Chain A
């Protein structure tokens, strides 16, 4: 398929996933606020901006990290490239350039999704029904993914879709884990209290992981949460799960057998998956969760740029990859 098309599909899917994750972040914070009258939670809005990595822009334009400011910034601010609205706009623009490749049903759902967010932004309804809106965003994103899986041939384009989605999801789960872990453990006085429990439950909920965690571990503990969100191979929002899917799709696209590599991103993702397969949660925590996640993120970023260079941006015919024979396993 055309490189430009592959790139658009990849980003379409990443942006939808990003919009969903931003909605998850905000939603869980709002839920926390409702659960507590404690002033400790006042500080909970600032880290949210850090999670998406846009705190400089935020401080410059908004200053104080109050609830309305943060929600506006992350939900409908057209100048913030990572707001829900901006992500959906970008996803839709990408989809528009590949309408002939994706199924009509996918386009219809994404277009409705964007129109829903745009009309919420226009009429300011979100002020009254914020939680509804974030639930709707999550649902619309799930619907988009379901439609994608059900109506699109699981060929090259679909694999680019999944590759983008899973890299984005792994990245966002790692960020929320990093930020929350840091904040929660900082307030040591709360460790082991009921409040601590609520906080960790909220982290799990933001990844729709609460119920599945319960089934697996029962009691809530920081270590359990880290193990579940980072290392679980079967839970669909866990980082390990996401990277395994991304790796599989990457190999399906390139035709390189699993366990071997021809291109840089194959090597990186392969190494990451092995790391996560053989890592123990105690080692990670004694190494420092923040440091571990930091390195993980940097490798995921490298994988992202590797994908860009391998499939989207090769320039002159002379320096191009020659068409290769597709290998099967």
Chain B
């Protein structure tokens, strides 16, 4: 396949510049793709998809027949990130996670940030993810958000923005690892030429981090991964991570609280569990503390947790920091706790709970993206420019009924990456979710999940709504010639961004 007819369009393209030339960081890739015999790329794409299906690398789609599995479509053209740009992203993410962790800890202790009136008390404490049960609790090493997946986008101004923080149970990292395996076998030549940073160390890092949380008295901690079970949309990932870490994958019914410790039921009797990497929401963790109707959790778990006899990652209650309304205040949170300016900017956000913003939002619905504060996966969302009048009216009514639950953002023009469509390439919008582990130190995986909206013109990248994925290549060192600049790579925001439209 060739790129002659490829249209960059009025968007930022990650692979081609506005003059339709491959960016320096993508030259080797483009050369290799163009050099393939006709039809070869498509064959490889199909082979990759067949492999995914046969390996059962699938997710479940809610709302369809139970057990309906789909592969997460995978596109062979990767997103490439230059070393200098990545360095800035990494720094920005570390700053953000550090501040958010301090914020969560503060909320469950002195609430200084509320007392100092930096953030409005009623908005923060009314978050559904704020858990009174956690007040006064000190998690091991003071860490609340152990695993984070932060969604980043690049706007047409060339800058990277943070779109969302996912501090509950961010999923997708298994695709990062599997996609890389497939890409290495398909493009060994490019890997040899490009010095792409490896991602395969993730599961070792994750295991180290989890073991670090174990009560200090335990010489060899037993770590388990708690899954809601095979009908959960991310079940493949749960089982994959457990396998790669060499830990047990457990369901709620495998665990019992006995004599103030958590034990699991084995063929040789009960065995104690020290650390639980839980991949279910707070709500379902413990029917005695949270939702009483949860069949998935472990009755009495929270009591053992609060007594420090078992560790949970992420800590219950940490979801308060990924409330979409709290998101709007993150720049202030960073400033308050670290005394620093935020490195990775937020997308400008209107908070419907604030009167002035609310009026603006209701007036400008056709241009805005509206999000419910506590939804994820692309549900509970209105994309103004792609919506009908009826949908806008319906959302206006919902917002007026519960302004606290909504935020709005301008419709951003997500950057694009060439994507295989039948027998040619078309630009498709992408975002990027890097993964951050907070243990002894903060670790940012050099890579991440690049999600791509496969439908023409679509901006929704969620797997449940027609999204796919791409490999993300973070280059080990910049090989850009001096004369060429890539927007967004400059450390200082005062440099004028390069417009591409």
From known contacts A107-B56, A317-B270, infer whether A4 and B240 are also in contact, taking CB-CB under 8 Å. no
Cβ of A121 within 8 Å of any chain B Cβ, yes or no, is: no
A117-160 interface with B by 8 A CB criterion: 156
Cβ of B256 within 8 Å of any chain A Cβ, yes or no, is: yes
Do the beta carbons of B253 and A4 come within 8 Å of each other? yes
Do the beta carbons of A100 and B254 come within 8 Å of each other? no
A104 to B269, CA, bound (A): 28
Complex interface: chain B residues within 8 A of A6 (CB): 267
From known contacts A320-B269, A320-B270, A323-B268, infer whether A108 and B263 are also in contact, taking CB-CB under 8 Å. no
From known contacts A97-B230, A107-B56, infer whether A3 and B243 are also in contact, taking CB-CB under 8 Å. no
Task: Encode B242-255 as 1/0 by CB contact (under 8 A) with A.
Answer: 11000011110110
From known contacts A93-B230, A100-B243, A317-B256, infer whether A311 and B267 are also in contact, taking CB-CB under 8 Å. yes
Do the beta carbons of B56 and A3 come within 8 Å of each other? no
Cβ of B494 within 8 Å of any chain A Cβ, yes or no, is: no
The chain A residue sitting closest to B56, CB to CB, is A111
Q: How far is the CB of B189 from chain A (nearest CB, A)?
A: 26
Do the beta carbons of A2 and B256 come within 8 Å of each other? no
Q: Which of A100, A101, A317 has the most CB of B within 10 A?
A: A100
Do the beta carbons of B240 and A108 come within 8 Å of each other? no
A48 to B243, CA, bound (A): 41
Q: How far is the CB of B333 from chain A (nearest CB, A)?
A: 37
Cβ of B235 within 8 Å of any chain A Cβ, yes or no, is: yes
Complex interface: chain B residues within 8 A of A2 (CB): 248, 250, 254, 264-267
A320 to B270, CA, bound (A): 8
Complex interface: chain B residues within 8 A of A312 (CB): 267
CB contact between A96 and one of B56, B248, B250, B267 (< 8 Å): that residue: B56
Q: How far is the CB of B70 from chain A (nearest CB, A)?
A: 14
From known contacts A96-B235, A99-B239, A317-B259, infer whether A111 and B269 are also in contact, taking CB-CB under 8 Å. no
Cβ of A296 within 8 Å of any chain B Cβ, yes or no, is: no
Complex interface: chain B residues within 8 A of A320 (CB): 265, 269-270
Cβ of B19 within 8 Å of any chain A Cβ, yes or no, is: no
Complex interface: chain A residues within 8 A of B56 (CB): 96, 99, 107-108, 111
Cβ of B501 within 8 Å of any chain A Cβ, yes or no, is: no
From known contacts A96-B56, A156-B267, infer whether A4 and B251 are also in contact, taking CB-CB under 8 Å. yes
Complex interface: chain A residues within 8 A of B251 (CB): 4
Do the beta carbons of A1 and B240 come within 8 Å of each other? no
Task: Encode B87-128 as 1/0 by CB contact (under 8 A) with A.
Answer: 000000000000000000000000000000000000000000
Q: Which of B230, B243, B254, B263 has the most CB of A within 10 A?
A: B243
Complex interface: chain A residues within 8 A of B270 (CB): 317, 320, 323
Do the beta carbons of B266 and A314 come within 8 Å of each other? no
Cβ of A112 within 8 Å of any chain B Cβ, yes or no, is: yes
Complex interface: chain B residues within 8 A of A324 (CB): 268-269
A99 to B241, CA, bound (A): 11
Complex interface: chain B residues within 8 A of A101 (CB): 243
Complex interface: chain B residues within 8 A of A253 (CB): 267
Complex interface: chain A residues within 8 A of B357 (CB): none
Cβ of A186 within 8 Å of any chain B Cβ, yes or no, is: no
Do the beta carbons of A3 and B266 come within 8 Å of each other? yes
Do the beta carbons of B267 and A1 come within 8 Å of each other? yes
Task: Encode B208-252 as 1/0 by CB contact (under 8 A) with A.
Answer: 000000000000000000000110000110011011000011110
CB contact between B54 and one of A1, A93, A97, A108 (< 8 Å): that residue: A108
A1-24 interface with B by 8 A CB criterion: 1-6
Cβ of B55 within 8 Å of any chain A Cβ, yes or no, is: yes
Do the beta carbons of A108 and B55 come within 8 Å of each other? yes
From known contacts A111-B55, A320-B270, infer whether A100 and B253 are also in contact, taking CB-CB under 8 Å. no
Cβ of A321 within 8 Å of any chain B Cβ, yes or no, is: yes
Complex interface: chain A residues within 8 A of B263 (CB): 317
Complex interface: chain B residues within 8 A of A311 (CB): 267
Cβ of A293 within 8 Å of any chain B Cβ, yes or no, is: no
Complex interface: chain B residues within 8 A of A314 (CB): 265
From known contacts A323-B271, A324-B268, infer whether A3 and B254 are also in contact, taking CB-CB under 8 Å. yes
A115 to B53, CA, bound (A): 10
Complex interface: chain B residues within 8 A of A4 (CB): 251, 253-254, 265
Cβ of A322 within 8 Å of any chain B Cβ, yes or no, is: yes
A97 to B232, CA, bound (A): 11
Q: Which of B230, B242, B259, B266 has the most CB of A within 10 A?
A: B266
A320 to B264, CA, bound (A): 12
Complex interface: chain A residues within 8 A of B267 (CB): 1-3, 6, 156, 253, 311-312
Complex interface: chain B residues within 8 A of A111 (CB): 54-56
Do the beta carbons of A323 and B249 come within 8 Å of each other? no
Do the beta carbons of B258 and A317 come within 8 Å of each other? yes
Q: How far is the CB of A112 from chain B (nearest CB, A)?
A: 6
Task: Encode B265-283 as 1/0 by CB contact (under 8 A) with A.
Answer: 1111111000000000000
Task: Encode B122-161 as 1/0 by CB contact (under 8 A) with A.
Answer: 0000000000000000000000000000000000000000
Do the beta carbons of B266 and A100 come within 8 Å of each other? no
The chain B residue sitting closest to A92, CB to CB, is B56
Do the beta carbons of B54 and A112 come within 8 Å of each other? yes
Complex interface: chain B residues within 8 A of A156 (CB): 267
A4 to B226, CA, bound (A): 13
CB contact between A104 and one of B55, B248, B254 (< 8 Å): that residue: B55
Complex interface: chain B residues within 8 A of A317 (CB): 256, 258-259, 263, 270
Do the beta carbons of B54 and A322 come within 8 Å of each other? no
A324 to B264, CA, bound (A): 16
Complex interface: chain A residues within 8 A of B230 (CB): 93, 96-97
Complex interface: chain B residues within 8 A of A115 (CB): 53-54
A245 to B54, CA, bound (A): 32
Complex interface: chain A residues within 8 A of B258 (CB): 317
The chain A residue sitting closest to B250, CB to CB, is A2
A35 to B401, CA, bound (A): 77
The chain B residue sitting closest to A109, CB to CB, is B54
A304 to B331, CA, bound (A): 62
A279-320 interface with B by 8 A CB criterion: 311-312, 314, 317, 320
Q: How far is the CB of B235 from chain A (nearest CB, A)?
A: 7
Do the beta carbons of B269 and A100 come within 8 Å of each other? no
Complex interface: chain B residues within 8 A of A323 (CB): 268-271
Q: How far is the CB of A1 from chain B (nearest CB, A)?
A: 6
The chain B residue sitting closest to A326, CB to CB, is B268
The chain A residue sitting closest to B229, CB to CB, is A97
The chain A residue sitting closest to B249, CB to CB, is A100
A321 to B259, CA, bound (A): 16
Q: How far is the CB of B185 from chain A (nearest CB, A)?
A: 15
Residues in chain B within 8 A of chain A (CB atoms) = 53-56, 229-230, 235-236, 239-240, 242-243, 248-251, 253-254, 256, 258-259, 263-271
| Extra 8 A-B pairs, beta carbons < 8 Å, given A100-B249, A156-B267, A253-B267 | A1-B266, A96-B56, A97-B230, A99-B239, A100-B243, A107-B55, A320-B265, A324-B269
Top-4 shortest CB links A-B: A100-B243, A317-B258, A100-B242, A323-B269
Can you offer 21 A-B residue contacts whose CB atoms are under 8 A?
A1-B248, A1-B266, A1-B267, A2-B250, A4-B253, A4-B265, A5-B248, A96-B230, A97-B230, A99-B243, A100-B240, A100-B242, A100-B248, A100-B249, A104-B55, A108-B55, A311-B267, A317-B258, A317-B259, A320-B269, A320-B270
